[in-house]
């Protein structure tokens, strides 16, 4: 019985700690998505090759082997958001299998975002977060009324 009580106590402490940690995060700010673009880049992966020179039964020399080139094209989403008097440009690589791709976002629509260090975190309508990396911050002194 003491073991069960201890386990329940630990679970409650964990839940309370998670709630306190969630309250310590930066507040969500209302912004406006002013730009949505994609760009592609070539990413070099592993290159591997193996060739052998063989002689056939009739005396001909042939080269036999394989080659693998891991170069691939990567799609990068580039999002630009105005929050208060700041404009943030953030990038995120397209998720191939799992993850969120922001193709449902509409330019000039309001968005809820959070800024944490070098991350711009979008709070989607379903409550889930979409984390991007800030690559540029620009101050816009004439736009301080958008808060």
Q: What is the pLDDT along the chain (147 residues), one digit of tens a residue?
A: 665 665 665 555 555 555 544 444 678 899 999 999 999 988 877 666 666 777 778 877 777 676 667 777 889 999 999 999 999 999 999 988 888 899 899 999 999 999 999 999 999 989 899 999 999 999 987 655 544
What distance in Å separates the CA atoms of residue 63 and residue 38, rounded to the nearest whole number? 42
pTM of structure: 0.64
Residue 14 in 3-state DSSP?
A: helix
Contacts 24+ apart (CB under 8 A), 49-57: none
């Amino acid at each position: 019985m003491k073991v069960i009580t201890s386990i329940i106590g630990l679970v409650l402490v964990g839940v309370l700690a998670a709630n306190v940690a969630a309250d310590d995060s930066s507040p969500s700010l209302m912004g406006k998505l002013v730009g949505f673009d994609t760009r592609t880049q070539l990413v070099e992966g592993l290159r591997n090759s193996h060739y052998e020179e063989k002689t056939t039964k009739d005396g001909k020399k042939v080269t036999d082997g394989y080659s693998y080139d891991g170069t691939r094209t990567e799609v990068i989403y580039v999002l630009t958001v105005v929050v208060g008097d700041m404009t943030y440009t953030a990038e995120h690589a397209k998720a191939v299998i799992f993850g969120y791709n922001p193709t449902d976002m509409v330019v000039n629509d309001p968005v809820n975002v959070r800024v944490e260090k070098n991350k711009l975190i979008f709070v989607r309508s379903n409550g889930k977060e979409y984390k991007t990396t800030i690559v540029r911050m620009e101050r816009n002194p004439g736009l301080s009324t958008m808060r």
